[in-house]
């Protein structure tokens, strides 16, 4: 599939845009694509399940840090 996108400098295909986006920092890419935490959780439930132990520890650590300030 080739989708042409008009830009002032050059015309990029969909594939070329994807290749360029792979080089972006993750945070910048999420902002550019307007992706929310909720969307990430919905799309990556398999990875969340695969990493449940590590994620549970991270959540516990995060909650402990907040308990210090309360």
Beta pairing partners, 6: none
What is the Cβ-side half-sphere exposure of residue 70, based on CA atoms within 13 angstroms?
5
Supply the pTM of this predicted model: 0.67
* Cα(47)–Cα(42) distance, integer angstroms: 10
Please give the backbone phi and psi of residue 8, each rounded to the nearest 5 degrees, phi first: -75, -25
- DSSP string of 9-32? S--B-HHHHHHHHTTS-HHHHHHH
Q: Which residue has the higher pLDDT, 2 or 13?
A: 13
Whether residue 66 is predicted with pLDDT greater than 60 in this model: the reply is yes
- pLDDT given at position 69: 60
pLDDT digit string (tens) for 27-65? Answer: 999 999 999 999 999 999 999 999 999 999 999 998 887
CB 11 within 8 A of CB 5: yes
């Amino acid at each position: 599939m080739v989708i042409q996108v008009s830009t002032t400098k050059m015309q990029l295909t969909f594939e070329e845009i994807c290749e360029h986006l792979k080089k972006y920092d993750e945070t910048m890419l999420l902002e550019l694509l307007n992706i929310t935490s909720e969307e990430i959780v919905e799309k990556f439930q398999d990875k969340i399940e695969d990493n449940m132990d590590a994620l549970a520890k991270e959540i516990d650590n995060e909650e402990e840090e907040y308990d210090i300030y309360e």
